[in-house]
Structure 1
């Protein structure tokens, strides 16, 4: 397998590396430093693999699809083919095979949405052309098997893709999350990412967080610059304006008669916690004095690693581990407001339409959804998550890349007071 760049032609400078796998004797000028595969939050094998052979067949013998980038396959034989990939929106010629290409496969380097045009020539005769058009086509948008917050963050963009392109959309996500959404989107198919097959689709797009994607293979803009949710818009070629997804959860009855506030205090990494040692105790006492019951709906009553463990805050009513996600939605919807961290339950509160107070310092406000109740202290070190020079370590529960092991560790939230 050799990496090639396009052969210069009209339409401007070539920007995109592509890969051509040709018949013996085929050749082209190799491009040095071709784009490597990027590392995602989850292993690549958590996404459904594209089929070995492109799914669309033309009478000319050309096979093509847009599964994991633009893929073209020309019959191998004595005839010379010229395959050209063009970006219809920019007018750039992205790739062209060399003059002695006698069949084989071509695929684009870019895996995110591009409105491609494919041209196939025999000699000087154009024998095949196709402009990307997903109308009435089967399209798969795959999320990694993962967390609640990411899925909620990305879902509205995936459904917007279906609205824009009028395609027959399938969304792959964690099986346990499908009941939250499927009933609200009857025209979209939902499947488990673990069991999803890439066969039969006109196009497939992978939405995730690609940390080491220096060459912008999987995402046109680094997600740390545009936000956790809006990265899906850029991957899918959509307007990044945020919108909460619809939930397929009935309103349900009010769980308790008194006024109450729902809190969620647990997270998957210590940098996400409210690390002020007095914060939760003081804010819960304040809320109870103001006439609210305070109900904690975290999944776990205790969470941590090594010598650091976090417990349900004193004074809160412990509902941890007792509620399904659907019940969490019901409790959140009837609460006066939700108070929590940059976590999946905060995203669920946003999708539920509840006023959402978010305490976070390791992320900057543009990382998550817009809320007028964002609490961050800029006098502290903040925003390590948004720094592209720092690689978040999901395996280090005490990750604090700038101040680990010093008195300033986790100061981003330790310096957020109950008073603030």
Structure 2
């Protein structure tokens, strides 16, 4: 009998902010500066005045007297800052942010998969734009799967911090959603992934992470499709009782082996537990993510949810059939094979009147406790999903029975 796993909060905090000491020398005694967790400057005792100027907006955002203090900007995301220090109204120090050749740190949250895969491509765009020495701090298991595709980026453990940092920025989606200290806009209206572009001040155009196989040898001779049915919240599941059963059956009839690559074969909390789809082959387990990448590399396509393994498959370059009710299309990567039903309640994840509750596994903000709970995915029929699968196969000229 499979072991039952209960959903539980991550053991590590989502994000720790650590600006460190201000160390960049200005050449003037008592005045140091950097751009770690905002623009920062120290001034000694005296009749000083500090200005922060947003050079892109052509706007002074801070201007006040300072004596024997550290002055820091309220905004912690990327802004093209100019720092000015005056003594008795005479300009004695000015510095325009310039990341070229400098050590810059991007810190990513721990304990998550899809979000980091969604955000990371913008780190490379940022590095290329500024020609900086970029360091990315994240979970070691994420480093192992990402570093192959990005040899010019320095990867470090989540708790590490390089010496001599000129600037640092913190990647994530921050709550409450009206937080304008760490993110310039509400991520619910621009998309999960593009929030990273906004934090870094780069073009929010679509970027796909590069996930490369380590072992290109094909393990499975027959044509196969990978699926993933588990998620971090019940709202992300496909809550149609006959859904996966019929899709797995359909895929087999089309000539595929169907491999379930979730981490857990049973997962849930309280009254909700979700098991591996009947008829799928059990490739679940606490396996290195790189093994899943290697397996996906030879799959014809992937069927999943608005969750981490869909982003993994997308990063490998596989077509993805995504079944989603609680999120709108702008939340995830552009996808012609997304399945959603707009005849029922949907899109609560992107509703700016609602805040997602990470602690409530059965979160359904509009209909919880009613007979309509989770109708956004319950009314996505297996016939609709199978129709999209058939269209994907036709588009990509996939004929496994002919192989």
- Note whether the superposition's TM-score is higher than 0.5: yes
| 1:54 aligns to 2:54 (yes or no) | no
1:90-109 equivalent positions in 2, closer than 5 A: 90-98=57-65, 101-109=66-74
TM-score (norm 2): 0.89
SS at match of 1:348: helix
Aligned-pair CA distance for 1:197: 2.8
Partner of 1:136: 101
The alpha-carbon distance between structure 1 residues 269 and 157, as it changes in their structure 2 partners (threshold 3 A), is same
* 5+ long unaligned stretches in structure 2: 1-9, 385-403
The alpha-carbon distance between structure 1 residues 84 and 139, as it changes in their structure 2 partners (threshold 3 A), is same
Counterpart pick for 1:192 among 157, 161, 170: 157
1:148-167 equivalent positions in 2, closer than 5 A: 148-167=113-132
Q: Provide the rounded CA distance (Å) in 2 between the counterparts of 1:269 and 1:44.
A: 18
Work out the number of aligned pairs and report it.
Answer: 374
The alpha-carbon distance between structure 1 residues 314 and 45, as it changes in their structure 2 partners (threshold 3 A), is closer
Does the Cα contact within 8 Å between 1:117 and 1:132 map onto a contact in 2?
yes
Partner of 1:87: 54
| 1:67 aligns to 2:67 (yes or no) | no
Counterpart pick for 1:363 among 327, 330, 337: 327
Q: Provide the rounded CA distance (Å) in 1 between the counterparts of 2:368 and 2:177.
A: 26
Q: Provide the rounded CA distance (Å) in 2 between the counterparts of 1:153 and 1:215.
A: 20
Counterpart pick for 1:297 among 216, 240, 261: 261
Cα deviation per residue 1:299-353 (whole Å; 9 max; x = unaligned)? 1110011121111111111111164311211221211110000111100000000
SS at match of 1:219: coil
Aligned-pair CA distance for 1:55: 2.1
Aligned-pair CA distance for 1:211: 2.3
| 1:341 aligns to 2:341 (yes or no) | no
Counterpart pick for 2:134 among 151, 169, 189: 169
Cα deviation per residue 1:13-34 (whole Å; 9 max; x = unaligned)? xxxxxxxxxxxxxxxxxxxxxx
Partner of 2:283: 319
| 1:381 aligns to 2:345 (yes or no) | yes
SS at match of 1:97: strand
Partner of 1:11: none
The alpha-carbon distance between structure 1 residues 44 and 221, as it changes in their structure 2 partners (threshold 3 A), is farther
Does the Cα contact within 8 Å between 1:48 and 1:198 map onto a contact in 2?
no
Q: What CA RMSD, in Å, does the superposition of the two structures yield over aligned residues?
A: 1.7
Aligned-pair CA distance for 1:130: 0.3
SS at match of 1:395: coil
| 1:183 aligns to 2:148 (yes or no) | yes
The alpha-carbon distance between structure 1 residues 418 and 215, as it changes in their structure 2 partners (threshold 3 A), is closer
| 1:118 aligns to 2:86 (yes or no) | no
Q: Provide the rounded CA distance (Å) in 1 between the counterparts of 2:15 and 2:56.
A: 31
The alpha-carbon distance between structure 1 residues 260 and 155, as it changes in their structure 2 partners (threshold 3 A), is same
Moved more, 323-332 or 404-413: 323-332
